[in-house]
Structure 1
């Protein structure tokens, strides 16, 4: 006999699925609505974490979902303890819902451990958190005659929950904005950490995820290093019950090498290490980052497109066999960590030109992420300019939130007046950072690619730049082109429609009067 009504089963199933879905995709809101019904609180599909915001701000249904999970989990638990026999589906749903509940119950503890600086001890915190979690886990999931969830145990669940919390923190800390391109980037980073199937990840894939490299592409200055950090700092870390602590400090598990800044010899030394006397300046044996990183570390190779072909061969060997040797040594060593690599180059062109090995590319492309340009963010959501300016200002004016807020507003106001809304930001976020610093120091900024007298350029220049960068949808492209031709024909419908080979009524529908004004102004 069923122990859950049809209605409660559907609610419990939706709650359990929330714990396994990608929180940055629309699926989460659909599941929240299914779980809460009329109590569902509409929320922005793009979640963003403003400074000092709490969970209720970004997840307005958080409390209601937890309360519903508490009631259903406790009621089901009592029936199970009284001897009720669940169906296979009910057992599966109960276990998933309870895991969701346990994560939310222990969220504060997990967040405290995750945000404790690396130079401060965490053993006491993790020990207390582990004891409370163990007690709750046993109370709900280690019931007489009740099999544990497949491939789950308390220690592993605790480690997965800790990873989820670190992933949230890193994604929100490293990826700023409310635009859809940023929402898609957050969702992509989440999948790079957990894959699209969180259930399968928690059951099995977490063991081998480190063997899959991540390739990040995108224009210069779009935050590829921050994306790499979010992925590298969010890896699965085992929990050791004996010492009541996690085996590795997540805050010191990322090792970065900027390949464009080093000579081939130094790159080899940084990555693989070297023996004393193997080259000029090698005065002692040195372990490279591949050796230091260990099993749960991440090595980030920035500007992979500029790597010398001779080192590409050696890197390919590491990716294929997981082995390497120090410079000047023959002893084989094992690399068991994860590679994250990034480039602003078009690797297909680099391969065609013979500058990048195809076999290396096909070892790197299993997981690919592309970072959006700043222009793409702002076109979709103009408020992103302010979000990013404040993020930058807070880094410049550390521990001075009010001053940072004022600086961000000053920078945004200056940009609006002096540069206009259509500036293309060729240097992306890196350029915006220098703009904010310039405004703070001199209350001005001169883009290097344009003269001080014409920061924004003409409408025709902007149209050409945006067209070349592929920033238009088809509808936007037609609107801009039709408006430009109409303006060029001195706003004459007959001549413009003849030039465009378009009926004048269709032309009239496609026109944008504001764009016509900009194309008319010389």
Structure 2
């Protein structure tokens, strides 16, 4: 007999929880839903709000279970789906600490399979709510994936600036899509079809972003072995394409057959052969590879097959590709140095990582946060005075407006040099004659620009900061071709004071994706 004993007010609460269950944890929507569920004050800490959320849901669910409403076998349609999400949310958060410990244990054990002692408890709780055995096993694997994604995105890409918050939300969507209902309904084992292209200056953290995606892939759970079928440490493999000659690179990527060339005394398994099912290969410096290698990479992406050097036997690749470059792909595409068809196979999504100078401009507290994290990674927990000492030396030696051309990687090395020598001189580069943003602001105040010139200057300024037409289009809500037109206009139009282009001398990294 079907039961519907919950009140309208209770169903409203459950629907709010169901929306939170599928919301991006790095997004503002999830923050608002958590406050609504918990009833906590908006200025409460994140831990306090989450504790209140979990407690309140547990109390509500227990009341509903006592009345038979929380049993999915007694519900159908929309209400069954709402209750299912609430049950999943509840069980997942009951075992968050267990998943965190499993992640840390797996990091220590490396490629070794780790047993999951709490698995049967989770599966038992899921089936008690009326979730089928097979569905429960799959959702247990999704739980582990959700927690890994949160763990590696949160800890691998720190920062409180708006651009870093946007980056973390973006990475989460790359793992679970922008609407996790699509992922949960059928894309959970098809994400290898979605290749990702990471753009950004040297040292911005493209490797960390790739690792966060790579370690967050779906890994099935084997009930008989009481373990996941693969270690997430083995699920992510990377290669810097710029460090190999063309012949050696093909062997490293695709492997080779014994006798394929002088020195090939044994068969060699390449990177694509070693990649686990649902795994991720990170191709760093994709802009440095030759056209022949690009053609072979295109074949892998299009047909999902490759051939070891010296072999006619096709091998299948079932993993996901994440690629990165600090080069201007727009320029390489226009000059024919990078194939358009390969680009369009790579850019299911294009993510531009923000340079450190942009992050510091957006949030002055960003430097303090980064210093704390980097010092902790380097030397463990240290008293706050060490962080303040490093910050004081940086301010003394570099001034307040240092551009950090090496980005976060340079900041990390600066900390090490300060620890060793007590000083850091930085990269000495010629300063621009006039700050472009300040000049633009002055011209706006003076009314010296018409609407078209203003839009051109604004688009050019954003392009100089973020490096891609796509990001400028997103921020201005213009289409990509319109943005490109105004940026190109800014490059050739003389500034009002007659000293050349307003933004023409900016050093930028660019990217391109499908045009509307």
TM-score by length of 1: 0.80
CA contact (8 A) 1:43 1:59 kept: no
Look up the match of 1:66. Answer: 54
For residues 306 and 82 of structure 1, do their structure 2 counterparts lie closer, same or farther at Cα, with a shift above 3 Å needed? closer
| Alpha-carbon displacement from aligned partner over 1:213-253 (angstroms, at most 9, x marks no partner) | 11111111100000000000110000001101000000222
> Which of 262, 268, 278 is matched with 2:244 structurally?
262
How far 1:409 moved relative to its partner? 2.7
Q: For residues 87 and 449 of structure 2, what CA distance do their matches in structure 1 show?
A: 64
> Which of 194, 202, 226 is matched with 2:184 structurally?
202
1:297 has 2:279 as partner: yes
For residues 236 and 480 of structure 1, do their structure 2 counterparts lie closer, same or farther at Cα, with a shift above 3 Å needed? farther
Look up the match of 2:18. Answer: 16
Correspondence 1:23-102 to 2 at 5 A: 23-36=25-38, 39-42=39-42, 58-80=46-68, 86=75, 88-102=77-91
CA contact (8 A) 1:123 1:244 kept: no
Q: For residues 60 and 114 of structure 2, what CA distance do their matches in structure 1 show?
A: 30
Q: For residues 448 and 290 of structure 1, what CA distance do their matches in structure 2 show?
A: 39
CA contact (8 A) 1:113 1:122 kept: no
1:419 has 2:398 as partner: yes
1:345 has 2:327 as partner: yes
CA contact (8 A) 2:70 2:129 kept: no
Gaps of 5+ in 1: 45-56, 143-147, 452-456, 484-496, 503-522
CA contact (8 A) 2:201 2:355 kept: yes
Q: For residues 157 and 172 of structure 1, what CA distance do their matches in structure 2 show?
A: 22
| Alpha-carbon displacement from aligned partner over 1:246-268 (angstroms, at most 9, x marks no partner) | 00000222111111111111111
Q: For residues 121 and 129 of structure 1, what CA distance do their matches in structure 2 show?
A: 20
1:479 has 2:441 as partner: yes
Q: For residues 393 and 196 of structure 1, what CA distance do their matches in structure 2 show?
A: 34
> Which of 112, 129, 133 is matched with 2:118 structurally?
129
> Which of 386, 390, 402 is matched with 2:382 structurally?
402
Partner of 1:176: helix, strand, or coil? coil
1:170 has 2:157 as partner: no
Single out whichever of 352-361 and 413-422 deviates more from structure 2: 413-422
For residues 219 and 82 of structure 1, do their structure 2 counterparts lie closer, same or farther at Cα, with a shift above 3 Å needed? closer
| Alpha-carbon displacement from aligned partner over 1:261-310 (angstroms, at most 9, x marks no partner) | 11111111111011123233323210001001121221110010111111
Structure showing greater Rg? 1
Q: For residues 43 and 361 of structure 1, what CA distance do their matches in structure 2 show?
A: 45
Correspondence 1:411-490 to 2 at 5 A: 411-450=390-429, 457=431, 461=433, 463=435, 467=436, 472=437, 478-479=440-441
CA contact (8 A) 1:260 1:303 kept: yes
Q: Alpha carbon RMSD of aligned pairs, Å?
A: 2.6
Correspondence 1:320-359 to 2 at 5 A: 320-359=302-341
How far 1:381 moved relative to its partner? 1.0
Q: For residues 305 and 82 of structure 1, what CA distance do their matches in structure 2 show?
A: 54
CA contact (8 A) 2:405 2:427 kept: no
How far 1:407 moved relative to its partner? 4.1
Q: For residues 373 and 53 of structure 2, what CA distance do their matches in structure 1 show?
A: 31
Aligned length: 447
Gaps of 5+ in 2: 451-516
Look up the match of 2:201. Answer: 219
CA contact (8 A) 2:64 2:70 kept: no
How far 1:417 moved relative to its partner? 2.4
Partner of 1:225: helix, strand, or coil? helix
| Alpha-carbon displacement from aligned partner over 1:159-178 (angstroms, at most 9, x marks no partner) | 00000111111112210111
Single out whichever of 124-133 and 26-35 deviates more from structure 2: 124-133
Partner of 1:340: helix, strand, or coil? strand
For residues 267 and 58 of structure 1, do their structure 2 counterparts lie closer, same or farther at Cα, with a shift above 3 Å needed? farther
For residues 130 and 284 of structure 1, do their structure 2 counterparts lie closer, same or farther at Cα, with a shift above 3 Å needed? same
Q: For residues 81 and 299 of structure 2, what CA distance do their matches in structure 1 show?
A: 43
CA contact (8 A) 1:2 1:87 kept: no
